Structure 1
């Protein structure tokens, strides 16, 4: 019964406050109720009124009506604190599972200053935010996702208890914009890319007595462990050993290199390799089914590859859809995957 009532309430709220990145608060979507202190204050007023009626005491009447007027004035002021407030989602952030992802929100006051605002979503909250009339304020609410993909909070609550804390007025912002959660990086095993870059030239079939390897000239981005240092010491020629079955270019991070592994683990391996290449500033490309990012280097290139891994196999959430893909699977105790992600990024 309780869950049915809650579902009906949520449907009513979603109908009254549609999903959009720009929200103007008004009487239609601002709600107000007494706080715990306000309920006690009202009960005390009622007791004082009954006492004044019982004893026919004019001073008690006067004090009761003055405090009652304060309560009514506080109700109007608390509601006006949110009335006309404009909220705009500027952008959703990027990050890894278990790390805070900031959502930037611009607030612009209506006809009055909006004071002592609180923004919250689940366990995350920021308090005492002041938005003065004519001075837009940029607020940042950091939310924690737990799965890769598009990350979009269902509702961000905007609340105020100004001026006396006797009443609370609140509303919600239901953003369309989504953040990006990268795959949880997990150290990848040794693997050979299946991508050929077409730049291999002279290859010989025998290397220092080994019959199952090819050689090629060294290229930027090749691992130093694969250089034939003995040959380099003898001839001064820097060549690379491509053992039989390792025919792909080391510049490519390849989805198909991890055969027999499920999709999420492959993406985690690739995310780890991207971070490793970004740390050493080595050029690399990314090969995914249906998508290929050409080799490059630098932070912007690495972020582009991480984004491609984050949204691989997912559709971008549309405006009318409910809660986002790949989000809100909450686990109080972070698993080993998230711990390894933090170790990989440290």
Structure 2
């Protein structure tokens, strides 16, 4: 379709053609038809600038409510022509532009604002171009079929992480002997494994030393929606989200209790994401 500049050129050409007819100006006819022919050639090149591009959209990673869901777009060209000034946008947002080299690829990261937790549909992706000349606009609308998981928004003023005195109910245990974290050296005792003997330290003729290890700290906390303060469900979920982030950053074992869902205490990236996912998809009572 013609752009604003295209419609303006059409009006100018119509006025030139009218003047050439009224005054029988041969040069007027030549100039009018020359400009009209160039406009038609521009129309063809505008269409070819977008045609046969291959589009791939990667599913966005999970984000917190209020952040933008980032859709990674990859445009691939395999026809041996440079594709210049390709615009991509979602909904009514301001489009982003990228140049795709001949037989190459171009990438774009398009943000889609999120307002609430749960699944966020990315919507329709629009690719368009006005190159060359800007007289016409060619476009294509693509249903991405992509959605993004949105975690609850963390509380702006988070309360301290709940504590307790009973292990499994918010309490903690002292580090135990194990095989994970190096804790130091101690004098050799009968029955120590030869693999734990520090031969370098023992070679100083100051006695035999064994390496001592501690198991991962058993400190853990239970996070329970029913015991979380807040005036409504969303505020309590925001507080739980902040507690999960605090516990994860502190390398603390934590569990989560929700209506119909119990996640046992653990500490890992997968556990962190599973807890946040459970909060994001919790249905309102």
In the alignment, what sits opposite 1:116? Answer: 85
In the alignment, what sits opposite 1:174? Answer: 143
Match of residue 282, structure 2, among 305, 308, 312: 312
Match of residue 184, structure 1, among 150, 153, 176: 153
1:78 maps onto 2:46 in alignment: yes
In the alignment, what sits opposite 1:257? Answer: 227
Match of residue 68, structure 1, among 36, 39, 43: 36
- Give the superposition deviation at 1:96: 1.8
- Give the superposition deviation at 1:42: 0.7
Q: What do the CA deviations read for 1:135-182 (whole angstroms, capped 9, x no partner)? A: 233321012111111111222221111000011111212221211211
Q: Say if 1:192 and 1:285 are closer, same or farther in 2 by CA, change over 3 A.
A: same
Q: Does the 8 A contact of 1:106 with 1:137 survive in 2?
A: yes
Q: Does the 8 A contact of 1:193 with 1:257 survive in 2?
A: no
Q: Does the 8 A contact of 1:159 with 1:170 survive in 2?
A: yes
Matches within 5 A, 1:28-67: 33-67=1-35
Q: Does the 8 A contact of 2:46 with 2:137 survive in 1?
A: yes
In the alignment, what sits opposite 2:99? Answer: 130
Q: Does the 8 A contact of 2:96 with 2:108 survive in 1?
A: no
Q: Does the 8 A contact of 1:193 with 1:256 survive in 2?
A: no
Q: Aligned to 2:115, what secondary structure does the other structure show?
A: coil
Match of residue 255, structure 2, among 285, 295, 299: 285
Match of residue 119, structure 2, among 123, 139, 150: 150
Q: What do the CA deviations read for 1:60-113 (whole angstroms, capped 9, x no partner)? A: 111111110111011111111111122221111322222222111221235344
C-alpha separation between the residues in 2 aligned to 1:260 and 1:182? Answer: 18
1:302 maps onto 2:256 in alignment: no
C-alpha separation between the residues in 2 aligned to 1:218 and 1:95? Answer: 31
C-alpha separation between the residues in 2 aligned to 1:96 and 1:151? Answer: 11
Number of equivalenced pairs? 238
Q: Aligned to 2:12, what secondary structure does the other structure show?
A: helix
- Give the superposition deviation at 1:300: 4.5
C-alpha separation between the residues in 2 aligned to 1:156 and 1:105? Answer: 10
Match of residue 98, structure 1, among 56, 66, 80: 66
Task: Pick the structure with more strand per residue.
Answer: 2
- Normalised TM-score (structure 2): 0.73
Q: Does the 8 A contact of 2:91 with 2:123 survive in 1?
A: no
- Normalised TM-score (structure 1): 0.61
C-alpha separation between the residues in 2 aligned to 1:63 and 1:34? Answer: 20
Q: Say if 1:172 and 1:197 are closer, same or farther in 2 by CA, change over 3 A.
A: farther
In structure 2, stretches of 5+ residues that fail to align are: 176-218
Q: Does the 8 A contact of 1:116 with 1:161 survive in 2?
A: yes
In the alignment, what sits opposite 1:232? Answer: none
- Give the superposition deviation at 1:188: 5.1
- Give the superposition deviation at 1:183: 0.4
Match of residue 245, structure 2, among 275, 297, 308: 275
Q: CA RMSD in A?
A: 3.0
